[in-house]
Structure 1
Amino acid sequence: MRDKFSVSTLPAVALGAVIGTASPALAQSDVVVLDAITLIGTGLPTEVMRNPASITIIESDSIERSAPVSIATLLRDVPGVQISEEGIERVSIRGEDARRVAILIDGQKLTDHTNYGQPILVDPTIIERIEVVRGSASVVSGSRAIGGVINIITKRGAAQPFALSTTAGYISATDGYRYSATASGTVQAGAGALDYRLSYGRMDQENRQTPDGELVPSDVQDRSLSGHLGYRLGRHYFGLKAQSYDLAANVYVGQPGFDIALPKRDLRKVSGFYEGTDLTPWLNRLSVDVYRQTIDREFVNDVSTMAGPMQIDVQSVSVDDQETEGLNLRAEMSFSANTRTVAGLEYEDDQLTTDKVTQTTITPPGFPSTTLRYDRAKIRTFSVFAQHEFDLNEELTATFGARWYDVDADHEASTTDGAGNPTSSNSDSLLLRSAGLVWTPRASLALRANISEGYSYPTLSQLFLTTTAGGEGTTYGNPDLDPETSTTYELGARYDADGWLLDATLFYTKAEDYIVSAPSGPRIFTYENVDEARSWGLEVYAEHEFDRWGLTPYISAALLRRQLRYANGYNTFDSGAPEAAGRIGLRKDWQISDVTGTLDLFLRAESGTDYRDDTGSVTNSAGGYATINLRGDVEFVNGIRLVAELNNLTDRSYQPYGQMPGAERSVNLFLTKSF
């Protein structure tokens, strides 16, 4: 049997020896940075402190001081954010499913037409920072942003002519590893400067080990290659990015006779962009980007059930090819000293081709029958938006904005066993609005109010496709679906002075026309707009720095009350979203000569929750849990950084809602060397 204690003790002893003789150093928040500038909340460059939206920025320093196991692990302690694991990690916000959260890479959206939501297909070692918007945000960030937005900004070239960075790490809970290498720099080229970056990374994790045993199967692998090339000439910047990311996983179900494999989820992306600053007295910034991305997806589901003396085996295989082309244009303008305006347009052409094979074998007699389905469909989305900000006085700033959507979807071809099927189409046009007010009576305090709307157009699967995966029967698309919509109301406060830092939000969200698969016959389901949801909550991040000792106690927590309203009139607060979740800890920042580091002891906890369907039956549940964890990092003057994370120190058995059972007592140990 593996000695769990020895795995986690050695790094703790080493870090403890260092901390024991350390002097205090400047403490920095792991999550909340209120002076960071971001475009994502209002479309205009605005400090988080003065932003009307609920925003969290995870800066590069925080990312570098964490083990880059995955992007989801970097996000899990943001208030209101939860991780879902269905073989591949996805992110949900404020109780909304992952398919209602917009995922952007450098401001360009990743699209997904499954019923699970878009996974984040990026190597965590190439990220410059992560921007998170909690709550409806479709005016600024486009479709899918009902629960919120995750915008991942990737790194560009290093400041010096040549820099080399390598990262390697061990993940004991899965006997896994991740490594990466990056070469980057900036050199003079004619009248301007050329910057470049080339990165390669790989991760391989075996089955997860838990206090109760091994989860078979639960392995996951990824591989990435990315490049960036940019040229700055005065006020103009031209850039080109390319990305290749391969992901594969086996899904732990814990149910005999039910297997899911995801052999392929591969992204290929190329994008070009232009940024111009201070082009005229009134045009502060102009940005244009174009991109093309393809996602190749393979899904395998095997289901075996008994029906009296007969065994029924159903294997469903889906091979999907998705091609997306897009254009984004944005202009930031200032026509007077107390106003700023941003206006832009977005175009997206998203096409899906899918081949599905369903093989059914009934034993006896044991002869298989096979059904072949082919579909090709596309969605074209065009939208224009504008957001205006004006200062009512020196302390009060108002913003209001709107976005007009025009969407067309077409089922271009469909066959079953070679015979043609009827095809159809869908379209929608809608105006969305937002408004915000921020009062800053002094530089250290901001009070805000915000109203914003969200919009999620049906996926091509929900509109047109027929699926058999899941073993429950056949689900048919519905070309008459309406988009899902939401409205979020928020009140918030931010404070940063005298060692105190606070970011608190009260919110209420009303969501309508939820799309679900509703029964329409024996083992027959059809997607329908039937359900609604109401969500109330409080999100808080607070810390206080005791500079004399280099100690910072902190809390990051979310309280959520969420009601599901079904079409048959049944309402329930058992929505599957935990009513309380968060992290509370004590961070120690230290310095010995030129060596600096951090030690962070924290408790991560979540309340238990149930999920009731429209009949009132509990179909899923999870118990509450709390784990004790320790994270430490050390940065040496020779460009070496060591990060150690000791997880679940008490080796507790637990399973968060929507996730696999938690890992055993384990260590993530990563070493980065920069040249």
Structure 2
Amino acid sequence: MKRDFLRKRTVLATIACTTFVSLALPSVEAATLDEYTLDNVVVTASKIEQNAFKAPANINVVTREMLEKNHYTNLTDVLRDVPGVTIQNYGNGGGNYTSNSIYINGTKNIVVLIDGMRVNTNGSTFSKFNASEVVDMDSIERIEILKGSASTLYGSDASGGVINIITRKVAAGDNKTSLEITGGSFGKEQYSLLNTGRTDDNVYWMLAAQKDISGDFKDGRGNTIQNKVNANDFNFKIGKDFDEDTSLIFTYESYQSDYLRPKNGGLHETQISEGEKDQRRLSILSTNRISERAVNQISLYQNKNYLNDNYNDSMNVWLMDLETSGVSDQVTYTTENHTLVGGFDFYQDKIKNYSSTSYGYTDAWRDRTITNRAFYLQDAWHMNDEWTLTTGIRTDNHSVYGRHNTPSVVLGYEANDNTNYYMSYKEFFVSPNQYQLYSSYGSLDLEPETGKTIEFGVNHKFDKTFTGSFNIFKRKAENMIGFNSDTYKYYNVGEESARGWDIQFTKQLNDNFSANVGYTHLYIDPENAYSNPNQNGYLPRGAWNLGLKYEKDQFDMQLNGRGIIDREGRKGKNIADEFTSFWIWDAAINYQFEDNAKAFIRVNNIFDKFYTDQCYDMDPDGSWYSAPGRNFQVGVQYSF
């Protein structure tokens, strides 16, 4: 009965929000909302530069302006405000947990890129990428979130989508330095430096450094949760434009932290875990225009991830030393009606050392390596002014599972300048990682997950200030990998059937106000008779994303709300109301008191809600990984 009521309330809220936006204040022709009208240029959808509004895919763009005005602490906070993305963090979710997960369209099989190069950590069954460790927002130009399978272009593990972080470009005359100091609740301190420059002979650089400190926090019920993070982040990029056709870029990134966290949940936990992290990335990107029609890009990268968790307890230590290296060679060739993208990808995932000690039992192994070689080819055929047919094929040669082909077909129809549609069919395969194969919980009998995704979407501009989009998908997969709690082994569960949709509206209300609203619905069939839908209730059936922005002269304000609806929790358990449904509201206020200086304040969890992104015991008195209650950040930024 309660679930039916929530569903009815969600439908009514959808109708109400749609009506609100449709009957909003009269359009202001001179005012547009670039970050919401999809007028940005994107590259992730097809590896071809194209207008986001016209891209035949479900894609969201977080712009530089949005990053600056919202003062997000890390990438996790950014992704919370993107429809279709689900964050499952433990507790504060900062630099002190490694099992945090990102889901797109109900799966965590996603690929994360920085400037088009992979940064996934594939050796562990836990998080493939910890977004909370991306704390340097200053060096990011935009973030493209592609929702839907992208296996043909980005690899077999991109069945859910792709997150592509595009770093800032340094233009001529962009020689400057920015300093920022932030303080706040729960011992929050942040100090950041950004320096950019370009010489007369077109050598350019960007240096970003940041220090983050945080302490114990209180959740929405006033419980004090033990928590400490002392992290250092450093990014350096240097490049040279040899001429208009040739460039070379070298990038080095590092994130190091010492942390303290509750050992098993925070609410009733008295024991603590101390740990340290050391993440480093190196990359080289070469771009060369071969001819008027052809451009070649070659990239090399290496990602190192080290974790030493709970080292204060020799009976329960968790140690991981992982390394991923790769090379990619891609050529883009353009004719009058065709754009071809073809290339070669190679990456190697290596576990140099893994050790997990629990209650005196140690699972230790080292020097396990998996490699994957792939060739891909995509053709975007512009049949006429309205129709585009994009076909692609990828052939992966996996060191354990051999050769697999993943084709894709996307049909785009541009009805006019204000409306476009797309339909797509894509296949994927996801191989087990080293932990699922070689650990004491693993099995060499595992088969890779295989499946297909069908999508449909439409984008429409009602006028210059009002944009809407609707996207729907259905995903079928076989040989899904799960964990058997009786045998303590990973095994192939069987089939998965998932479907969902999202609807988004953005509106410039008048000269000063703009708004956005998005709703996402997801349903994944239960794994068996003993499970609830949506991965045994861990993922919500509904999610809202609301935003309101005000700008006038030197002052602006951002208000963002997100609602989790109908997250059932595990079947047969006493589930707390705070787990199943909740709303969280955040706000940021900026004041530009000089041309090169501004002050800001950000308030998180305005109404001090008690909630969690993820926990195992969901009962009202269980061992919750509760999230921080209401907290503040105040800062000053100065540029010269």
Larger strand proportion, structure 1 or 2?
Answer: 1
After superposition, the Cα gap between the structure-2 partners of 1:430 and 1:61, relative to the gap in structure 1 and judged at 3 Å, is same
RMSD: 2.7
CA pair 43-147 structure 1, distance change in 2 beyond 3 A: same
1:600 equivalenced with 2:574 (yes/no): no
Q: 1:175 aligns with which of 150, 166, 187?
A: 187
Question: Structure 2 matches for 1:443-592, cutoff 5 A?
Answer: 443-466=417-440, 476-496=441-461, 497-519=463-485, 521=487, 525-547=488-510, 549-566=511-528, 572=533, 574-591=536-553
1:195 aligns with one of 204, 207, 219? 204
Name the CA distance, whole Å, in 2 between partners of 1:637 and 1:276: 42
Over residues 484-521 of structure 1, what are the superposed CA-to-partner deviations in whole Å (9 max), with x where a residue is unaligned? 23322211111233311112211222233221221454
Aligned partners of 1:243 and 1:403: how far apart in 2?
30
Q: Give the Cα separation in 2 of the matches to 1:631 and 1:257.
A: 33
Once the two structures are TM-superposed, the CA of residue 358 in structure 1 deviates from its matched residue by: 3.0
Structure-2 change in CA distance of 1:349 and 1:648 (3 Å): closer
Q: Cα distance, 1:301 vs. partner?
A: 8.6
CA–CA distance in structure 2, aligned partners of residues 576 and 223 of structure 1: 32
- Aligned residue number for residue 316 of structure 1: 316
Q: Deviations over 1:507-546 (max 9, x none)?
A: 222233221221454xxx1111114332222212212213
Match of 1:611 among 569, 575, 589: 569
Match of 1:634 in 2: 591
Q: Which one-letter code corresponds to 2:604 in the other structure?
A: N
Which one of the candidate residues 406, 427, 431 is aligned to 1:432?
Answer: 406
Alpha-carbon distance in structure 1 between the residues aligned to 2:112 and 2:64 = 19
The whole-number CA distance in structure 2 between the counterparts of 1:270 and 1:639 is 33
* CA spacing shift, 1:157–1:371, aligned 2, 3 Å: same
Q: CA deviation at 1:167?
A: 2.0
Q: Amino acid of the residue matched to residue 323 of structure 1?
A: E
Residue of structure 1 in register with 2:620 after alignment: none
Offset at residue 60 of structure 1 (A): 1.1
Structure-2 change in CA distance of 1:643 and 1:504 (3 Å): farther
CA distance in 2, matches of 1:281, 1:328: 22
C-alpha contact (below 8 Å) 2:106/2:160 kept by paired residues: yes
Structure 1 CA distance, aligned partners of 2:489 and 2:203? 54
Alignment of 1:298-309 (within 5 A): 298-300=308-310
Once the two structures are overlaid, the 10-residue window that deviates more, 162-171 or 54-63, is: 162-171
Quickly say closer, same or farther: Cα 1:211–1:318, change in 2 above 3 A: closer
Letter in 2 for 1:444: N
Q: Identify the residue that residue 263 of structure 1 maps to in structure 2.
A: 275
Pair 1:668 & 2:626 matched: no
- Taking the TM superposition and a 5 Å limit, the aligned residue runs for 1:323-362 are 323-334=323-334, 336-356=335-355, 358=357, 360=359
Amino acid at match of 1:650: F
The letter of the residue matching 2:514 is T
Moved more, 255-264 or 537-546: 255-264
Deviations 1:300-338 (A, max 9, x none): 3999xxxxxxxxxx933232222222101111101x311
Q: CA deviation at 1:181?
A: 0.3
Q: Give the Cα–Cα distance (whole angstroms) in 2 for the partners of residues 649 and 518 of structure 1.
A: 40
> 1:37, 1:282 → 2: CA distance?
20
- Give the Cα separation in 2 of the matches to 1:208 and 1:176: 10
2:505 partner letter: A
156, 180, 183: which one aligns with 1:143: 156
Residues 1:657 and 1:216: Cα distance change in structure 2 (over 3 Å): closer
CA 1:632–1:540: 2 relative to 1, 3 Å: farther
**Other structure's SS at 1:565 match:** coil
**Unmatched tracts of structure 1, length 5 or more:** 1-23, 304-313, 361-368, 409-425, 467-475
1: CA distance, partners of 2:363 / 2:253: 33
The amino acid of 2:106's aligned partner reads G
Query: Relative to structure 1, is the Cα distance of residues 641 and 212 closer, same or farther in structure 2, using a 3 angstrom cutoff?
Result: same
Please state how far the C-alpha of 1:357 moved relative to its aligned partner: 5.7
Paired residue for 1:379?
A: 370
1:47-95 Cα shifts (integer Å, max 9, x gaps): 2112112111111111111213111101111111121113255422122
SS at match of 2:53: helix
Q: 1:171 to 1:642 in 2, by over 3 A?
A: same
**Alpha-carbon spacing, 1:651–1:258, altered in 2? closer, same or farther (3 Å):** closer
Report the Cα offset of residue 345 of structure 1.
0.9
Residue 104 (structure 2) aligns with: 93
Distance 2:630 2:30 in 1: 31
Change (3 A) 1:25 1:294: farther
**Is the Cα contact below 8 Å between 1:230 and 1:238 reproduced in 2?**
yes
| Per-residue deviation, residues 335-378 of structure 1 (Å, max 9, x unmatched) | x3111110011111221122426364xxxxxxxx6657332200
SS at match of 1:69: coil
Assess if the C-alpha contact under 8 Å between 1:67 and 1:668 holds in 2. Answer: no
Report if the CA contact (8 A) 1:229-1:239 is conserved. yes
Partners of 1:257 and 1:302 within 8 A in 2: no
C-alpha deviation, 1:581, in angstroms: 1.2
Does the 8 Å contact 2:226/2:272 carry over to 1? no
- 3-state secondary structure, aligned to 2:138: helix
Determine which of 384, 394, 401 is the counterpart of 1:393: 384
Contact 1:268 1:295 in 2 (8 A): yes
Equivalent residue for 1:131, pick from 134, 139, 144 = 144
**Cα offset, 1:116, TM superposition:** 1.9
Q: What are the superposed Cα offsets for residues 416-473 of structure 1, whole Å, 9 maximum, x if unpaired? A: xxxxxxxxxx33321111111111121122111122233322111111012xxxxxxx
TM alignment of 1:3-152, pairs within 5 A:
29=33, 32-86=36-90, 87-88=97-98, 89-97=100-108, 100-110=109-119, 111-117=121-127, 118-120=129-131, 121-122=133-134, 123-152=136-165
Offset of residue 40 of structure 1: 1.1
Matched, 1:655 2:612: yes
Q: 8 Å contact 1:72–1:90 — kept in the other structure? A: no
> What residue number does 1:162 align with?
175
Cα distance between partner residues in 1 of 2:584 and 2:478: 36
C-alpha distance 288-325 of structure 1, shift in aligned 2 (>3 A)? same
Conservation of the 8 A alpha-carbon contact between 1:553 and 1:585: yes
For residues 359 and 647 of structure 1, what CA distance do their matches in structure 2 show? 36
TM-score (norm 1): 0.81
**Alpha-carbon offset, residue 380 of structure 1:** 0.8
- What is the alpha-carbon distance in structure 1 between the residues aligned to residue 569 and residue 494 of structure 2? 14
| Partner of residue 20, structure 1 | none
Q: Distance in 1 between matches of 2:169 and 2:612?
A: 38
2:255 aligned with 1:281: no
Deviation at 1:250, TM superposition (A): 3.8
AA matched with 1:288? I
Q: Please state how far the C-alpha of 1:216 moved relative to its aligned partner.
A: 2.5
Q: Say which of 577, 580, 596 aligns to 1:623.
A: 580
Distance in 1, matches of 2:205 and 2:605, equals: 40
Shift of 1:483: 1.9
Contact 1:69 1:178 in 2 (8 A): no
Residue 179 of structure 1 aligns to which amino acid in structure 2?
Y
Return closer, same or farther for 1:356/1:65 CA change in 2, 3 Å cut-off. Answer: same
Compared CA separation, residues 84 and 259, structure 1 to 2 (3 A): farther
Percent identical among aligned pairs is 21
Asked whether the equivalents of residues 250 and 262 of structure 1 are also in contact (C-alpha less than 8 Å), the reply is: yes
Query: How big is each residue's C-alpha offset from its partner over 1:263-314, in whole Å with a ceiling of 9 and x where there is no partner?
Result: 123112221111123x31331x2110112222112233999xxxxxxxxxx9
Cα pair distance change 1:371/1:448, threshold 3 Å: closer
1: CA distance between counterparts of 2:559 and 2:143?
Answer: 23
